Amino acid sequence: MRLLKQALAVLGAIAVVAITLALVAPKTVHAVAAALVEVINTSANPVPTYDSGTRFETDVCLATGPISTALNSCGSNTSRTFVVPSVTSGGAAVKRLIVDNVAGLCSSYNNPSLTISSVFLSGQFVPDSVPNGDSGTTHYVPVVAPGHNYVNDPSLAPPLGGVQETDYAYGQSAHFSFNPGDTVTLHFEYSWTGVGATDFTCQATLDGFLATQ
Tens-digit pLDDT profile for the chain (213 aa)? 554 445 445 445 555 445 554 554 555 544 444 444 555 666 566 555 555 558 999 999 999 999 999 999 898 877 999 999 999 998 999 999 999 999 999 999 999 889 999 999 999 887 777 778 788 889 999 998 889 999 999 999 999 999 999 999 999 999 999 999 999 999 999 998 888 889 999 999 999 999 997
- Does 34 lie in the same domain as 60? no
46 lies in a domain?
A: no
183: in domain: yes
- In this structure, the answer to whether residues 59 and 138 fall within a common structural domain is yes
Same domain, 117 and 18: no
Q: Are residues 160 and 109 in the same domain?
A: yes
Side-by-side strand order, sheet with 137-142: 81-83, 183-191, 115-123, 137-142
Same domain, residue pair 26 and 75: no
Residues 173, 84 share a domain: yes
* Domains in the chain, number: 2
Q: Same structural domain for residues 105 and 20?
A: no
At residue 213, the pLDDT reads 79
Instruction: State the residue range of the domain holding 92.
Output: 55-211
* 189 falls within a domain: yes
In a domain, 141, yes or no: yes
Same domain, 32 and 63: no
Residues 10 and 107 both lie in one domain: no
Check whether residue 196 and residue 137 sit in a common domain: yes
pLDDT at 132: 80
pLDDT of residue 14: 53
Same domain, 14 and 117: no
